[in-house]
Structure 1
Amino acid sequence: MSRILITGMSGAGKTTVLHELSRRGYRTIDTDYDAWVLPDGTWDEQRMSALLASDSPLVVSGTVENQGRFYDRFSDVVLLSAPVEVLIERVSARTNNTYGRSEADQSAIRQYVLDVEPLLRNGATLELDGRQPVAELADEVERLIAGPIRPDAR
């Protein structure tokens, strides 16, 4: 079964792509909500392990310190990326989340792009430009969910 992780910096488009995939009928989990992330900023490992043991296709989004512990349980890890100024513009304008509006948040995002994004890139199986239209990004993830076409599957 396909289990895809969409990761990236705040403002890269993870939640937006997840909403589009959900609209298309896929099971999605945004770990920024519903207590997936513990107070220390890591995923609840027991809960995440139980989720990834399911038998249905699944798309998860999030960026946490311990996500690498789960990479072997995802068929693909997709990094959504965008230039830092695009990230800052997006987080400043969003209405569903206040993170990114303050100077301190924006400074942290700039530092995360330097320190964290290279680690995410290293663990990713695919990097997508978060500036692409949402439908195109969702199409790319949908291709991963479908998996490779076997030569005998005509």
Structure 2
Amino acid sequence: MLVTGMSGTGKSTTLNHLAHRGYSVVDTDYGDWIENLSLPDGIGAEPHWREDRIDALLTRHEDSGVPLFLAGTVINQEVFYPRFAEIVLLTAPLPVILTRITTRTTNPFGKTPEERAQIESDTAEIEPLLRAGATIEIDTRRSITQVVDQLVALVGFPSAPASCCE
């Protein structure tokens, strides 16, 4: 299952709670899952999943039958949409997101005025694209327990020992 959404919607927090419940999770913001590649117009670069690594991870989990929650928001994620049973979009209103990124201590992104402006711009431009590809949308103003319970209901109980953040 892919868990996607804008920065500050609670992807990492949700995965941490899922891992504590025994599920296999991978937060692609951490580790060697992402590389910055030039955009097709040649102006600037954007984070992309390393497709060979994501493919190998998904293949390993498809073969095992163990549910996997993979989180991330990158420009090439839709390449993998057919391989996910569900594509879950976590959302929250922009003022909630901006408050969260101001107070979070686990991720420095969003602290500068430029990064906050980027989050505002991305929310207006990118979130509608994510919504179009999502199979489920969850408003993360609900309690984290409710958010996690809704995700768990989609996959059932974990069937093997959890692996956090492979």
Shared fold by TM > 0.5?
A: yes
SS of the residue corresponding to residue 131 of structure 1 reads coil
User: Can you give the 5+ residue segments of structure 2 that lack an aligned partner in the other structure?
Assistant: 38-46, 158-166
- Aligned equivalent of 1:88: 98
Q: What does residue range 1-154 of structure 1 map to in structure 2 within 5 Å?
A: 4-40=1-37, 41-54=47-60, 55=64, 56-146=66-156
Runs (4 or more) in structure 1 with deviation over 3 Å come to none
Distance, in Å, in 2 between the alignment partners of 1:137 and 1:63 is 18
**Paired positions, count:** 144
CA drift of 1:146 comes to 2.3
CA drift of 1:127 comes to 0.1
Distance, in Å, in 2 between the alignment partners of 1:113 and 1:87 is 10
Percent identity between the aligned chains? 42
CA drift of 1:106 comes to 0.6
CA drift of 1:35 comes to 1.3
The amino acid across from 1:26 in the alignment is Y
1:122-149 Cα distance to aligned partner (Å, 9 max, x none):
00000000111111100111011129xx
Distance, in Å, in 1 between the alignment partners of 2:155 and 2:48 is 25
SS of the residue corresponding to residue 38 of structure 1 reads strand
Distance, in Å, in 1 between the alignment partners of 2:32 and 2:91 is 25
CA drift of 1:101 comes to 0.6
User: Can you give the 5+ residue segments of structure 1 that lack an aligned partner in the other structure?
Assistant: 148-154
1:25-58 Cα distance to aligned partner (Å, 9 max, x none):
0000000001111122100000000111122210
Range that drifts further, 90-99 or 115-124: 90-99
- Aligned equivalent of 1:151: none
CA RMSD of aligned residues (A): 1.1
